Structure 1
Amino acid sequence: MKPILYILTLILSSTLTAQSEAENVKSTIDSFFESFHAQDTVGMKDLVSENVVIQSIGEDQQGKTLVHETSISDFLKGIVSIPKNASFKEELLDYQISIDGNMANAWTPYKFYFKDNFSHCGVNSFQLVKIDGKWQIIYIIDTRRKEGCN
């Protein structure tokens, strides 16, 4: 009987730890977007690695797939340059989080609104690494489209 209780305790403990880590990853992403919406570049910078890669997938006029890369400094400058009276919000619709040790991936479908009007939708993919007990975003890639957003 004792071995069965020991195995059940181990399973329950690892399940709770995984759920706790998933909440920590989600919290990191939520904090990133709280800073994003507040145009708080210091807060955003604190949540990403100094070598973070930021990319977007889109299409040109002919429908050819393009991958656009932005440096963290250009990304932050873009956020700060949004006029204070121009509201914007990225609404995350779901979180699908996978974790293996100190590496995590989060898949977050979203809808983006600018000046209270729907702009586009897509999916963010975040890669995170746990360094010194803290989850840091090392890679962000997103898709952007105006159709198929239901």
Structure 2
Amino acid sequence: MKHLPKHLRPRWRYLAVGLESWPEADVDRRSFQRALWFAAQNLLGDAGSADLDGSVLTFRFEDGAGEAVVRARRGEVERLRAVLATVDAVDGDDVGVVVRGVSGTVRACEEKYIRGPAEVSEERNVVFAGADRHAVVRGDRVDADVGGGHVGATALDIRDN
């Protein structure tokens, strides 16, 4: 079977997507892809999600932070941004999704917007809301354990113990 001529091939745009969640969240490529397709189908319907494509090409997630490169057909970037804005959980784990940038090739997308390894996370005890608590610290963000879950805080909200 012959390849299509260049002017008839589909043209793609690649979105660099940043992901953030709680430290114990377990998000993998397959579950993120499933959540993305489900959100696209709910927002755009079957035909709209097929036009969009929305394939996850590269994915990395560890210690509550990660990134992915998601493919969209040229002209569908704004619709993919809308779909990504509706993704708030993956397999029951709350996830924050942010589009870092858009590029015409995967290589340029990774070089410009994918930052490499996530920030180093550190576990320590802090004082939050008047009590000693276990926390995971990433940069200036603190995820304090408050019994049944976590509370996101900043360095200004806590005191080291």
Query: After TM superposition, is the score higher than 0.5?
Result: no
What TM-score do you get using the length of structure 1 for normalisation? 0.29
Q: In proportion to residue count, which structure has more helix?
A: 1
Q: Which has the higher contact order (CA 8 A, sep 6+)?
A: 2
> TM-score, length-normalised on structure 2?
0.28
